Chains A and B, each alone.
Chain A
Amino acid sequence: MRNRIAHWLQGRGFRDVIIGLPYVWLLLFFFIPFCLVLAISFGSRTPTAPPFGYGGDHPWISFVGYSRLLHDELYIRAFLVSLSNAATATVLCLLLGYPMSLALTRVSASWRNILLMLVILPFWTSFLLRVYAWMGLMGKNSWFNGLLTDAYNLLTPAGWHLSSIPMMHSNFAVVLVMVYTYLPFMILPLYANLERLDPVLDEAAMDLGSRPFRVFLDVTLPQSLPGIIAGAMLVFIPAAGELVIPTLVGDASSPMIGRVIADEFSSASDWPMAASVAIALLLLMVGPMMLYTHYQTKAEAGEEP
């Protein structure tokens, strides 16, 4: 009996199961739901439950959702705001995260563990709680806002003085909180990439006449491109579809796309419209994802001796 189990574990059948599991998972929890959303996006809105339908008074396939998407300024603006906020947050995360990741590779092993711990530590507190904390900090009467206001007033002429800096309910607040939230997603893949680079290559470049900054540009930066792309994708994709942060700290008059989807689903009860927006967002994200996969495969192929 035991031999038969061992035989089966080493055989093709077991291998197929192991390889097949992720596919089954993706089929159940990604592909089928995706097909459902896609199907809903071609339905028509009905005010009764379920809030969409086909046939009867409605056409079998309706493009109302997609056509509104292209013609209604609200959606186009929401997409633009989302993409610009997500892109800004990604660039800022990269600018902040790169030196931090690089520093992580240069410190002693004991310091490295402490610092890595600090990068991950915020995850131990509820995400919502941290957003609320930022709302407190950015609010008109907070000490943080007061400090920034004092600094601002000190540096500007009297006519420009403010009683407080209007941070809340703006794209600035959204980007700030997104950078704060997603920074670890930039640091961790970047660090994993930079840590694998051979420090002897830096020495070789220095030996051949390059100053340290030149070494960074010629040797470190190009080799860390896969890490940059991985980090950027991990920040950009969730940031573009972010719902909670713009809802809590954002400007309600120019909502991000996540908020639009949520509103169409709940308050407007327009499932086909919501589904159309969701499909459009997904298509927009597939491009960067493919870029990421392309670089990932290229990087892995490059490592083969």
Chain B
Amino acid sequence: MTDPFIRIDNVSKKFGTFQAVQDVSLTVAQGEIFSLLGGSGCGKTTLLRMLAGFEEPSAGQIFIDGQDMAGVPPWQRPVHMMFQSYALFPHMSVEKNVGYGLKHEDMTAAQRKARVAEMLELVQLTPYGHRKPHQISGGQRQRVALARALARQPKLLLLDEPLAALDKKLREHTQFELMSIQERTGVTFIVVTHDQEEAMTLSDRIAVMDKGRVKQVGAPTEVYEYPNSRFVAGFIGSITAFPAKVLAVEGDMATVLVAAFQGEVQARAVPGLSVGQEVTLAVRPEKLVISQVRPEGANVIAGQVKDLAYFGKDSLYRITLPSGELISVHSVNAGRSAGGRPDWDDQVYLSFAPAAAILLVE
């Protein structure tokens, strides 16, 4: 078996008595875009700083391309970082910023100049080479930071909240640009973000972190559709969760009793379920079908429209269940007329496919 490109082995980091990162093990393949996703204080930034060499792990090891990084200072690591604040040198021009790391490369002045020009071309900033960082826009600064970090052809690029400082419009555009640049350069990206949408669209795989631990690692669809814990389910996308009790397990189908529904529903079973076990049933708003006539089949819940928000292309309903609890439903407005769509206080029926419901043990 070939060694993974980046291997993080049981890494922990303590600051005084605070456990910032707790026993994290991850592998990242070459050329992958890997995201560390979590709220503030979850340890994602500390993990990133340990990869860059700004912090030493309290325990565990980090290997990059087979090389143990223990005791290797930041300036000797084949790793560059794009800082959240971009950290451009204010007293240097855009060109000088991009070329800064190349000073340490064995290159002629002409080669260096060519490389800087190539990087500016890559991020489409060729006309801005002579400007100072304060003379360009935020989006351009972000691209300078990217070009500077990529100029020395690092084995690994670390991106700390790469899109956080950009406004919404620019963010979407930049996201695709980042992906295309990654594809063209083939550099492995590790992205730290608190924005689940950013992580979903950008990454090949995501590690969801909480309180210094990795809760789940997987492709975006995996962590979204098959979360392994209440934390992951709640952190990625919106979800409504109810306590449930396992009544029966048959093959990959489980029947659970949900007090909030005042009835039993079927859901895809997860390994290790036992009859009588207390679990959580979670349903994402877009997996629910709302209708005014009772549909055929199982997994139908009655309710009443409490709130509705019309967004144009879709609507968000808040439905009061017979038990008094609320559930969110996301419905695409396929038709043009408002007629036939449930309105305030309407009696409605919600249904969902058994495979669409998520059973969570943890």
Contacts and interface: CB of A to CB of B under 8 A. Distances in A.
Interface string A196-208: 0010110111111
Contacts of A198: 85, 87
A15 interface: no
A209 B75 contact: yes
A303 B135 CA distance: 10
A219 B92 CA distance: 9
A222 B89 CA distance: 10
A8 B160 CA distance: 51
Contacts of A209: 75-76, 101, 103-104, 152
Given A200-B83, A200-B85, A223-B91, A208 B54 contact: no
Given A208-B152, A209-B152, A305-B134, A203 B91 contact: no
A149 interface: no
B62 to A, nearest CB: 16
A304 interface: yes
Chain A interface, DSSP helix/strand/loop, else mixed: helix
A22 interface: no
A112 interface: no
B13 interface: no
A204, A205, A209, A210 interface centre (most CB from chain B within 10 Å): A204
A208 B100 contact: yes
Interface residues of A, number: 20
**Is the interface on chain B under 10, 10 to 19, 20 to 34, or 35 or more residues?**
20 to 34
A302 B100 contact: no
Nearest to B104: A209
Interface in A278-305: 302-305
A58 interface: no
B80 interface: yes
Given A200-B83, A210-B104, A211-B75, A205 B134 contact: no
Which of A201, A209, A304 counts the most B-chain CB atoms under 10 A from its CB?
A: A209
Contacts of B148: 208
Contacts of A201: 87, 89-90
B87 A204 contact: yes
B83 A203 contact: yes
Interface string B48-78: 0000111000000000000000000111100
Interface in B88-146: 88-91, 100-101, 103-104, 132, 134
B81 interface: yes
Central interface residue in B74, B76, B101, by most chain A CB within 10 Å: B74
B80 A208 contact: yes
B75 A206 contact: yes
B90 A204 contact: no
Contact of B100 (A205, A211, A223, A303): A205
Contacts of A200: 83, 85, 87
Contact of B132 (A208, A218, A219, A302): A302
Given A302-B134, A304-B134, A207 B89 contact: no
28 contacts: A198-B87, A200-B85, A200-B87, A201-B89, A203-B52, A203-B54, A203-B74, A203-B83, A204-B83, A204-B88, A205-B89, A205-B100, A206-B73, A207-B52, A207-B54, A207-B75, A207-B79, A207-B80, A207-B149, A209-B104, A211-B75, A218-B89, A219-B89, A223-B90, A302-B91, A302-B132, A302-B134, A304-B134
Among all A-B residue pairs, the 3 with the closest Cβ atoms: A208-B101, A209-B104, A204-B87
Interface of A: 198, 200-201, 203-211, 218-219, 222-223, 302-305
